[in-house]
Amino acid sequence: MNSRRDFLQKIAASTIALPFVPLYGAARKEAVKQPYQGPVLRVAIMGLGGYGTRVADAMRDCKMAKLTGVVSGTPSKIKDWQAKYGVPEKNCYNYENFDAVKNNPDIDAIYITTPNALHKDEAIRVAKAGKHVICEKPMALNAVEGQAMVDACKTANVKLLVGYRMHFEAKTLEVIRMRNAGEFGKPLFFQGLSGFRIGDPTQWRLNKQLAGGGAMMDIGIYSVNGARYMIGEDPIWVTAQETKNDHVKFKEGVDETITFQFGFPGGATASCLSTYSMNGLDKFYLNGEKGFAEMQPSTGYGPILGRTHKGELTQPHVTHQTVQMDEMAGIILQGKQPVVAVDGEEGLKDLKIIDAIYEAVKTGNKIALQL
Ligand code: NDP
């Protein structure tokens, strides 16, 4: 009893003392804060380019995901990354030998950030090595490839996730919450503008073999995907028109500008623009029977800015890739369900729509979709 009384007296004394010693209070709070002790997803990044670097930097602030390995065709980059991110030699691979990751217990998932045309074969090899696949958008070049990836991951019993970072972005999620709560009424119309002026004509993004197309594969996909998560339905038809002014930069099969339209089962329509020839196009607008949401920028690295008929969206900005990787760790390790799917089936839907957009451009027909 005595010791209990002593303990209570000490507690009381420290509680009384706290308000008068604010610095002590802050330090104490810090000491009491428990470090995260739950499961951590150990990730290797494949393709150490611009986006891979962005993901690696963002993962420094993750709680549930950690960079533990690399796959690269450039030995000097491997050395740099080892020094910068503390990646041990035994977790470094190249494109010839990365199947050996199968026997590496320190890597749970590989995040593919290589040019689009390489995603399919790489993802299938990762799946066969028994590791989870996180793949950048577009998941593949077309729906046939995408389906092969989904099947391979299913057979190998590993998860396939696509880098749809906007599906975890706070302002975007607030608009989706409002729509689900009926605050916009019935969604009637979506406008998506996605584009930038592309530079260096020799880059892989302008090479049909590596990119699989042009602006649509790279940036137009944001309006394709955004139309679906903003309206909350999958389109049932698509029409599309292409404009090409620079036939030298944008060769056969590399689209410069495409306008496209969707119809949705609930009666809403969408009107979108995908381009490599106009700067700063990054805008979403949703109109419903009772209200609206507009976001500009809507899909850039942020901060995203937006407002609805009820006022400004004020959710704080957090580095998209940090949130994404923590959430993806939750999906893979704890079976967490995201508000908007980021799995292979979700990536496949966008590929089916993009296939239909290209078919509509080629034929001039209205293409029916069954997703
Ligand atoms: P980069 O060109 O900057 O990097 C790609 C990396 O892939 C290269 O650095 C290289 O790394 C590796 N690679 C392997 N084979 C080739 C090849 N034949 N040609 C060129 N590179 C090769 O591209 P990004 O990082 O900008 O894009 C990579 C992927 O990420 C794309 O699918 C893109 O759509 C996606 N992306 C997604 C974004 C998002 O916000 N979600 C934003 C930007 C891109 P190494 O030398 O290590 O082998």
Q: Whose CA is nearest to atom 2 of ligand 1?
A: 49
Residues 92, 68 contacting (CB under 8 angstroms): no
Quote the pLDDT of residue 20: 41
Average pLDDT estimate for 147-169? 98
Residues 210, 204 contacting (CB under 8 angstroms): yes
What's the rounded Cα separation, in Å, for the pair 112 and 251?
27
- Res 368 pLDDT > 60: yes
Counted domains in the chain:
1
What is the atom index within ligand 1 of the atom nearest the CA of 52?
A: 25
How sure is the predictor about 4, in pLDDT bands with cuts at 50, 70 and 90? very low
Q: Is the CB of 218 within 6 Å of ligand 1?
A: yes
Domain assignment present for 69: no
Domain assignment present for 9: no
Phi, psi of 219 (to 5 degrees): -120, -35
Residues 308, 288 contacting (CB under 8 angstroms): no
How sure is the predictor about 166, in pLDDT bands with cuts at 50, 70 and 90? very high
> In the sheet that 269-275 helps form, which strands lie side by side, from edge to edge?
311-312, 306-308, 292-295, 281-288, 187-195, 269-275, 257-263, 237-243, 367-368
- Res 206 pLDDT > 80: yes
Q: Is the CB of 136 within 6 Å of ligand 1?
A: yes
What is the atom index within ligand 1 of the atom nearest the CA of 163?
A: 41
140 alpha carbon – ligand 1 mean position (Å): 13
- Res 1 pLDDT > 80: no
CATH number at residue 194: 3.30.360.10
- Name which of 289, 217, 294, 288 is nearest 250 in CA terms: 217
Average pLDDT estimate for 280-307? 98
Quote the pLDDT of residue 273: 98
What is the atom index within ligand 1 of the atom nearest the CA of 77?
A: 47
Q: Is the CB of 113 within 6 Å of ligand 1?
A: yes
Average pLDDT estimate for 338-362? 98
pLDDT tens by residue, 23-79: 455 555 655 678 899 999 999 999 999 999 999 999 999 999 999 999 999 999 999
Q: Is the CB of 52 within 6 Å of ligand 1?
A: yes
Quote the pLDDT of residue 31: 58
What is the atom index within ligand 1 of the atom nearest the CA of 53?
A: 25
- Greater model confidence, 73 or 1: 73
The pLDDT mean for the chain works out to: 93
Q: Which of 48, 70, 114, 169 to mutate to test the pocket of ligand 1 (most atoms within 8 A of CB)?
A: 114
Domain assignment present for 43: no
18 alpha carbon – ligand 1 mean position (Å): 53
Rounded to 5°, the CA angle 68-124-344 comes to 90
Q: Is the CB of 114 within 6 Å of ligand 1?
A: yes
- Res 100 pLDDT > 90: yes
Quote the pLDDT of residue 76: 98
293 alpha carbon – ligand 1 mean position (Å): 33
Which residue(s) pair with 92 in the sheet? 70
Domain assignment present for 126: no
Query: Residue 222: enclosing H or E segment and its boundaries?
Result: helix 221-231
Domain assignment present for 173: yes
Average pLDDT estimate for 109-127? 99
Q: How far apart are the first and last CA of the chain?
A: 69
Quote the pLDDT of residue 3: 46
Domain assignment present for 301: yes
pLDDT tens by residue, 220-246: 999 999 999 999 999 999 999 999 999
Residues 101, 129 contacting (CB under 8 angstroms): yes
pLDDT tens by residue, 8-38: 444 444 333 343 444 455 555 655 678 899 9
Task: Just list the catalytic residues.
Answer: 137, 222
Quote the pLDDT of residue 21: 43
Which residue(s) pair with 66 in the sheet? 42
Q: Is the CB of 319 within 6 Å of ligand 1?
A: no
What's the rounded Cα separation, in Å, for the pair 161 and 328?
8
3-state class (DSSP) for residue 146: helix
Structural domain for 299, as ranges:
166-317+343-368
Q: Is the CB of 189 within 6 Å of ligand 1?
A: no
Domain assignment present for 232: yes
Residues 149, 354 contacting (CB under 8 angstroms): no
- Res 117 pLDDT > 80: yes
Average pLDDT estimate for 153-180? 98
Domain assignment present for 296: yes
116 alpha carbon – ligand 1 mean position (Å): 8
Q: Is the CB of 49 within 6 Å of ligand 1?
A: yes
Q: Whose CA is nearest to atom 10 of ligand 1?
A: 47
Quote the pLDDT of residue 34: 81
What is the atom index within ligand 1 of the atom nearest the CA of 74?
A: 46
